[in-house]
Amino acid sequence: MHNVKYKFPAGVAAAALLALGVAACSGSSDSGSSSNLSGNIRIDGSSTVAPLTEAIAEGFQSENPDVKVTVGTSGTGGGFEKFCAGETDANDASSAIDGEQKKLCKEGGVEWEEIQIANDALSIVVNPDNPVKCLTVDQLSSIWEDGSGLSNWNEIKGLSPSYDAELTLFGPGTDSGTFEYFTEAVNGEEGNQRKNYNNVGEDDNQTVTGVSGAPGGMGYFGYSFLVENEGTVRGLEIDNGDGCVAPSEKTVQDGSYTPLARPLFIYPSAKALNDKAFDQFMRYYLDNVNDVASSIGFIGLTDAQLSENKKKLDSLISG
């Protein structure tokens, strides 16, 4: 009674194999060419920077349809791991390459260059009901440093006005460039941060939800999340010795929002810079980045930063 039926799996397998074959064939036949540039560009790295690189890639591809640009989001550290193994052409980074990553690239024989593409204000956010407007860097550090036992806002030294609410902390995972930058800038050492906080991983929207739901909530993330959630959470002003400064496009660009204004980078490999399509992509990036940046929540480069990085790119490409 099974004689007819048993043949069917073979048919399914054949159909699947056929589909595989068709797929493989359609892949090998690259068609059409309206621009003289072609090639593949692989970029990975920070999920903070990715939207900017994606927007640039989108614009670039509409002008050069034969250049296939892909952008991944393995995080700054995860991206460098691939970049330093020669597996990607460039790495998005929300914090500058560190010693360990430099060593990794040296071992992998990958020469890297650093191009700044935008600015970001790492923003400290609290619940809108919180009366506190400003914290000093020392106060911030006393809350977040490794071993800190603070559990209520009224335990923070020199806080004004005083506020009695349980301190509920939200922060990104330890793989994130945002974590690296914050811990170094506030606690003086990369990775130095108390362990008992709510780790939201790569999903900063969880910080928004968490902070808006807890009267004594506090968290930190990139400026774009503050802009999009103004009213749900409130950005704190930061006092680094020269008075309270709020995170904003202006304070970041004039250099007064310290120490949490941070540069965002892309790290192209020297090998990729030998490729004409990639060079054009990098030029396109710097030519258009400021137009795109503010519309998707990034803080653009200042004129000085822009011309400096353009000059750097020029010398890298010609040299």
Partner 1 sequence: MASLSGQPGSGRVRFATDGARAVTAEMLSEQPRRDLVKGTIFFALLLLALTVALVGLAAIIIQAAVNGAPAISPTLFTNGPSTINPSEAGFRPALIGTIYLILGVIVLVVPLGVGAAVYLEEYGDREKWWNRTIELNVQNLAGVPSIIYGILGLAFIVRGPLDLGFILAAGSLTLALLVLPTVILAAREAIRAVPPSIREGSLALGATQWQTIRRQVLPAAIPGVVTGVILAISRAIGETAPLLLVGAATFVTFNPTFLGDNGYSALPVLIFNYASRPQDEFRVLASAGVVVMLVVLLAMNSFAIWLRNRYEQQW
Q: Specify the DSSP class assigned to residue 45.
A: E
Q: Which is nearer to partner 1, 87 or 100 (CB)?
A: 87
266 and 93 in contact (C-beta within 8 Å)? yes
CB of 188 to partner 1, least distance (A): 28
Residue placing its CB nearer to partner 1 in the complex, 142 or 224: 224
Residues at the contact surface with partner 1, assessed by CB under 8 A: 2-3, 5-6, 8-9, 12-13, 16-17, 19-20, 23-24, 26-28, 40, 42, 44, 47, 50-51, 53-55, 57-59, 61, 68-74, 78, 82, 85, 87, 202-205, 222, 224-225, 227-229, 292, 295-297
The nearest distance, CB 90 to partner 1, in angstroms, is 13
Of 72 and 268, CB closest to partner 1: 72
Distances (CA, A) of 294 to 55, 126, 198, 223, 224: 12, 24, 30, 11, 9
Contact present, 191 and 174 (Cβ < 8 Å): yes
CA 292/CA 276 separation, integer angstroms: 23
| 108, burial (CB in 10 Å: exposed 0-12, middle 13-18, buried 19+) | middle
Give the CA distances from residue 36 to residues 33, 39, 40, 129, 280, in Å, rounded to whole numbers and listed in that order.
7, 10, 14, 57, 12
Nearer to partner 1, 86 or 259 (CB): 86
Tell me whether residue 25 or residue 304 sits nearer to partner 1 (CB atom).
25
- Quote the CA–CA distance of 279 and 269 in Å, as a whole number: 11
Kindly state the smallest distance separating residue 19's Cβ from partner 1, in Å. 6
CB of 185 to partner 1, least distance (A): 21
Identify the burial level of 190 via C-beta atoms within 10 angstroms of its C-beta, where 0-12 means exposed, 13-18 middle and 19 or more buried.
middle
> Based on CB atoms, which residue is closest to partner 1, 215 or 297?
297
* Of 13 and 244, CB closest to partner 1: 13
Question: What gap in Å lies between CA 45 and CA 97, rounded to an integer?
Answer: 12
Closer residue to partner 1 in complex, CB, 26/196 = 26
Instruction: Write down the least CB distance from residue 244 to partner 1, Å.
Output: 24
CB of 82 to partner 1, least distance (A): 8
Phi, psi dihedrals of residue 182, rounded to the nearest 5°: -60, -50
Q: Say if residues 257 and 121 touch (Cβ distance below 8 Å).
A: yes
Give the nearest distance from C-beta 151 to partner 1 in angstroms. 29
